[in-house]
Amino acid sequence: TLGPDVIDVRALGGSGYFTYDPGFVSTASCNSEITYIDGQKGVLLHRGYPIEELAQHSNYLELSFLLLNGHLPSPQEYEEFSKTIRYHTMVHEQLVNFFKGFRRDAHPMAVMCGTVGALAAFYHDSLDITAERDRQISAHRLIAKMPTLAAMCHKYCIGQPFVYPRNDLSFAENFLYMMFSTPCEEYLPNPIFAKAMDRIFMLHADHEQNASTSTVRLVGSTGANPFACISAGIAALWGPAHGGANEAVLTMLEEIGDDSEENIQRFVDRAKDKDDPFRLMGFGHRVYRNFDPRAKVMKETCDEVLSELGLGEDPQLKIAKRLEQIALEDEYFVERKLYPNVDFYSGIILRAIGIPTNMFTVIFAMARTIGWVSHWNEMIANGTKIGRPRQLYTGPELRHYPAKQD
């Protein structure tokens, strides 16, 4: 029932109904042409192309062009796009001083929120969001500079000098090079690792209106600059219910420790116990009520990488597979349609590559940057109203401030 204080939202461009939808379970906040998900069937399409086909035949830069521009690039467009991204890989040298202000034991996601937001202080020349040229330059800068900033976070945390980008390398190779090279020893990217890294970037590139993308859109709807918007997206991604899950999965697998049935069952039982806050990390999804198609590709990639490295019997992979099996046969998980999500297997691959656990969510942020900027750009190009959710007020009724006794 509508109370006397409910505004007729038709006057504000609404549908006429005032809806209460905590967690936005059934509210669409926008139109978008970028990504389609059918959660019941386990389908994910980017600009119409299935994620499985893209993961097999495309690469992260090509997918980035597709997400941003709406079509697959011609060979010439691809060449130009990849040249442009390479051109922007360096960051302003003053950012080095900015890094030095952080504690070395800071979580890299905290450093990323700060340094990516700070890009707005260095790149004033592309901040007119009404100009398509500026939006494109900012998008290119963000895609290109995120790996550089991410690798700088890692180097800073471990007390090594920063490594400058090498533009003769591919996007994934360059990231690994900046992560692992030192002045004493140049790291030559292992092609198996580079391929796996690129696949991880593709599988995380976009996922329509998830919490971090919705955050980017909400911040962007106020007219804020793109660097501020992406910094807000990074903050939203950090939580363990969202991007922080990839780090949490590995912590959970370490805690489980061995793949004996009774041991794993103990953790599954804990996840079912409503008095225990523990959840199976990497399980469940707001939209998928079926297998997350990205999780299937991630699992295959994990098997491929570990067998190519001769690590097919990796103990954590064994625990993960057994855990998946036990959970998927358990009534609790079946009833609630809880399946492994994209991050259930990604951490095992990242660990095999040598990426430290505290960098997992940073890698997710790097990969998701193209999704964030594509949505931001689509929203600004189409024109938008400021995002302003309503609430149901449940506080006290009108009362008066007590008269003061002199």
Active-site position among 46, 107, 343, 375: 343
d(Cα 134, Cα 115) in Å, to the nearest integer?
20
User: Closest separation between CB of residue 203 and ligand ACO, Å?
Assistant: 10
Active-site position among 46, 107, 207, 285: 285
Q: What distances in angstroms separate CA 236 from CA 24, 100, 139, 210, 277, one per listed residue? A: 15, 24, 19, 10, 21
Active-site residue, 285 included: yes
User: Closest separation between CB of residue 393 and ligand ACO, Å?
Assistant: 24
**b/e map of 134-159 (b: 16 or more CB within 10 Å)?**
bbbbbbbbbbbbbbbbbbbbbbbbee
Q: Which is nearer to ligand ACO, 173 or 324 (CB)?
A: 324
Q: Which is nearer to ligand ACO, 46 or 242 (CB)?
A: 242
Task: Report the interhelical angle of 132-158 vs 75-87 (nearest 10°).
Answer: 50
| Closest residue to ligand ACO using C-beta atoms | 284
Beta bridge partners of 46: 35, 49
**What H or E segment, with its residue span, contains residue 45?**
strand 43-46
Q: Are 226 and 139 in contact (CB under 8 A)?
A: yes
User: Closest separation between CB of residue 207 and ligand ACO, Å?
Assistant: 7
d(Cα 109, Cα 234) in Å, to the nearest integer?
7
Cβ neighbour number for residue 334 with a 10 Å cutoff: 12
Q: Enter the DSSP assignment of 85.
A: H
- R_g (Cα) of the chain, nearest Å: 23
d(Cα 266, Cα 256) in Å, to the nearest integer?
9
Where does residue 373 rank: exposed (0-12), middle (13-18), buried (19+ CB within 10 A)?
buried
User: Closest separation between CB of residue 276 and ligand ACO, Å?
Assistant: 10
User: Closest separation between CB of residue 254 and ligand ACO, Å?
Assistant: 16
User: Closest separation between CB of residue 226 and ligand ACO, Å?
Assistant: 22
Active-site residue, 125 included: no
Number of H helices, E strands in the chain: 17, 3
Interacting residues with ligand ACO (CB under 6 A):
23, 241-243, 245, 271, 279-286, 336, 338, 341-343
Q: Which residues are catalytic?
A: 285, 343
